[in-house]
Structure 1
């Protein structure tokens, strides 16, 4: 299998102002924790850190180690700072020391050239451990050099403002060359050491250092915070020699279990194995990178200890999907939309079953959780569509794996979901007995995927009967009827088949907007019927059981293609609408005002490709072209992955999370679905 490498040379890093600051790298640990920063090395967000550990509730994810300031000392005593750790200073990129940044199987590596010395640095996290390794290797040098590494600590929960660290006092305990930093009885211990050479930690009294976070300033948050450093590690490095800085919240026994070389080797092997498991069209090039990007979202929720104990007692495992990095946790909607692309298309069928059975356990009053707040054991259930996406995900899983056992376990719970929706459940989610359509909405809540809210302002409330909710409702009814018929016979399925037919007739009578030749976004809403052109109508065509009459598919698909499709996804609102916003920027209120009012969402290309292929089943090449705009994006924002959102107009600047589960999942899924190889082989 060819090596999976993405390279950014010096020209790419210096071709635009702040290019190395606005590009970011990410190494997840499979627990929800990660290491991440800008390519320049500067920490520009509160979420950046070399070790963001995933810890049991009530802590959740904690930025333990913010930075590792590294200085190369030449034989004549000249000091060269390798990477820029303060965005306000000239650093490695500005000074020209870094000649190359690359991802090797998704793992970041920097190559520096400093006055005849060539040095490489690589970051890796052992899978499912709160441990980070930063390895330095002297590739070329005429004489020995020295290195000084200064760890800068945060001890701050992920969502806390940068001026609110958890600790005020620190204590350092040393035993040999192993060091522990204590910050209080309720906080984890940070363990640090150097592997490969005896480099002691020189304590220089401890110091607090102010740091400016420019991205937080742009986003309207507190942007100046205090970090703490106990001192520095330092010592000589000889040509060909490697040393590894290790930081961890795990026990010393875990830290020492594997030498750094083995950690790197095993992680590369694990990643190569993931690529080999994936669909054949995904095993090389950019798609192989996205298979590795997909891996970053499938994780064990380390903080929910009780859930893990319950699952293991039942002979199962807990898996879920982190919606996006850096700030999202696991969201029900995102998980169900992403499941096929992240797990089924990539050959991770067993984990897909674990995810579905995990969420089935969380069903309450006919709903799966909307999301799990960081550091909490219980989910929040304010969603009208996540549960309906569960039916879609289960159908794709059963169709791919043939796992009827899981279907039989979950099916009674899905029947209960339908009954709760029919009778009425939380947040005004209830079937209208007059037409069978599903209504949702409660004052002060945002229940659809267009869920932006600032304080008491729900930006796109969409209370009433939303088009995609009813497309999903019909799909869920049809799937439930088919499963019941297969498992229990036609008598059990009959009521749900009848409900589905009522929904279909009502949908086509009520949602069709003759004047615009497409679908209303919401009917029976607070202000009547909403004729805004949004992407939600595409689901009436794209789902496995399309609710829209076949004769109207082309009109809807053409409207969406002409008004909403871009090279990197679909606009959330068509240009020309009074609420349309071309850019997503500014403070929280300004951003959320644009979040679903024009902003492009990468994941929406998936349902559009599905709808396109229903209309044009032989046009695999045309459908594949819809995905090609994502390829150059892999060199910007989150390197090797796909962002959450983009501006609505060229140049479609990436915004939001640098790595979003459903963006990656839908591109991966659709790339495999538009594979031309089987057709070419058949033609031979």
Structure 2
């Protein structure tokens, strides 16, 4: 199946189509084709604690943030009326947004000679692929979404300028485990920071969570976070194949809004725990594959997302062949 931009001219339209993966033991992964959670039952990992029952939301989603930066040499000459409209972060103390529009101003600048000024500046852009709502805010990651495919597993294709990001999601059959695999191709001339922030929960999939009643502790081991909810003997394990792992104690995502819950006449806002984030740096033109794996109780035996996806697709193909 293929869906293009005409299927999400608005968030309301984009959430009308949903996808679902299952793991064969009662757990599942589900969402909408624009990556927005629209129901309390949506999430990247809903684990079955006592297969095939006791389903708990474990990983609601991932907030995906991209920062692009480009170093430029800025020249301003006397009499120039050009005004910058982008935010610039400079090296040194000079502010490049300062308007110097006359020869007198140029002459008075202590570092200006012959009415020409040059400064090394960094132009920064920030982009969020994550699509969500709160009662007071909407994030439109679907604006960067070029296409959604579903053949065996869901696949999202994003574009920011000439930068491309492909996201694939796969559950591991027979395990409460999900892998999210990103293929990133950075654009030439710009450095990139790719930050993945997991939104964690631990509640029965029929209920909703509020941060005053949520208690989590997180320990860090290399690129793996081990999260203990509610002083329980359960463990939520998050690992990333690339980059740095940064913990953020006592951090929460507040008031995620689920529009379909409101339509049902129910409470439709929820909080999620943020244990930290994974940060990956890319040089201009670099290509990189990044895998984030979330598991309930079981240690991670691999962060090779490509092999996990190949394993699941092969399993599904074998089932289809038996039906022919």
TM-score range, shorter chain: 0.7 to 0.9
Trace 1:208-607 onto structure 2 (pairs within 5 A). 208-237=253-282, 239-252=286-299, 255-257=300-302, 259-279=304-324
Q: Deviations over 1:595-627 (max 9, x none)?
A: xxxxxxxxxxxxxxxxxxxxxxxxxxxxxxxxx
Say whether the 8 Å CA contact 1:30–1:127 is kept in structure 2.
yes
In the alignment, which residue of structure 2 is the partner of 1:131? 177
User: How far has the Cα of 1:158 moved from its partner?
Assistant: 1.1
Note if 1:11 corresponds to 2:6: yes
Listed as ranges, the matches of 1:608-627 within 5 Å are none
1:207 lines up with 2:201 in the alignment: no
1:149 to 186, 196, 206: 196
Shift of 1:266: 1.0
Which residue of the partner structure matches residue 101 of structure 1?
148
Deviation at 1:258, TM superposition (A): 6.7
| Whole-Å separation in 1 of the counterparts to 2:30 and 2:176 | 14
Q: Deviations over 1:200-237 (max 9, x none)?
A: 12425423512221111111112122222122211213
Instruction: State whether structure 2 residue 28 is matched by structure 1 residue 28.
Output: no
1:30 and 1:71 map into 2 onto residues whose CA distance is 32
1:58 CA displacement: 11
* Secondary structure of residue in 1 paired with 2:36: coil
* Aligned-partner Cα distance in 1 for 2:25–2:52: 15
1:257, distance to aligned residue in structure 2 (A): 4.5
Residue pair 1:209, 1:226 contacting (<8 A) in 2 also: yes
> Residues 187 and 46 (structure 1 numbering): CA distance in 2 closer, same or farther, change over 3 Å?
farther
Provide closer, same or farther for how the CA distance between residues 200 and 17 of structure 1 changes in structure 2, counting only shifts above 3 A: closer
Does structure 1 retain, via aligned residues, the 8 Å contact 2:291–2:303?
Answer: no
Partner of 1:37: 31
SS at structure 2 position matched to 1:236:
strand
**CA drift at 1:104:** 2.5
Counterparts of 2:177 and 2:229, CA distance in 1: 18
Deviations 1:45-87 (A, max 9, x none): 1111111111128971100111111111112431100131227
Structure of greater relative contact order (alpha carbons < 8 Å, 6+ residues apart) = 2
Corresponding residue of 1:92: 141
Contact 2:240 2:303 (8 Å CA) reproduced: no
In structure 2, the CA distance between the partners of 1:167 and 1:90, relative to structure 1 (3 Å rule), is closer
Compute the TM-score of the two structures, normalised by the length of structure 2.
0.76
Whether the aligned pair in 2 keeps the contact of 1:155 and 1:167 (CA below 8 Å) is: no
Cross-structure match for 2:128: 81
Q: Which residue of 2 aligns with 1:460?
A: none
Aligned equivalent of 1:170: 216
Corresponding residue for 1:112? 158
What is the Cα deviation at residue 17 of structure 1?
Answer: 6.4
Distance 1:32 1:57 in 2: 6
Deviation at 1:165, TM superposition (A): 7.8
SS of aligned partner of 2:307: helix
* 1:129 aligned counterpart, secondary structure: coil
Aligned twin of 2:235: 189
Note if contact 1:163-1:222 (Cα within 8 Å) is conserved in structure 2. no
| Structure 2, gaps ≥5 residues long | 71-123
Q: Distance in 2 between matches of 1:58 and 1:274?
A: 21
Q: Residues 237 and 126 (structure 1 numbering): CA distance in 2 closer, same or farther, change over 3 Å?
A: farther
Alignment partners' CA distance in 1, 2:249 and 2:196: 13
1:53 and 2:98 correspond? no
Contact 1:206 1:229 (C-alpha < 8 Å) held by counterparts: yes
Instruction: Classify the secondary structure of the residue corresponding to 1:74.
Output: strand
Q: Shift of the alpha carbon at 1:131?
A: 0.9
Change (3 A) 1:213 1:233: same
Preserved contact between residue 132 and residue 256 of structure 2 (Cα < 8 Å): no
Contact 2:62–2:130 (Cα < 8 Å) also in 1:
no
- Summarize the Cα distance change of 1:179–1:163 in structure 2 as closer, same or farther, 3 Å threshold: closer
Kept after mapping to 2: 8 A contact 1:207/1:228 = yes
Structure 1 length normalisation: TM-score? 0.37
Equivalenced residue count is 266
CA positional deviation for 1:199: 2.4
- Find the aligned partners of 2:209 and 2:69 in 1 and give their Cα distance: 39
Q: CA RMSD of the aligned region, Å?
A: 2.3
The structural deviation recorded for 1:185 is 3.9
Distance in 1, matches of 2:210 and 2:193, equals 35
Query: How far 1:133 moved relative to its partner?
Result: 0.8
Q: Deviations over 1:120-170 (max 9, x none)?
A: 11111111111111111114521442211111112110112x246896211
Distance 1:208 1:108, change over 3 A: closer
- Asked if structure 2 preserves the Cα contact closer than 8 Å seen for 1:70 and 1:150, the reply is yes
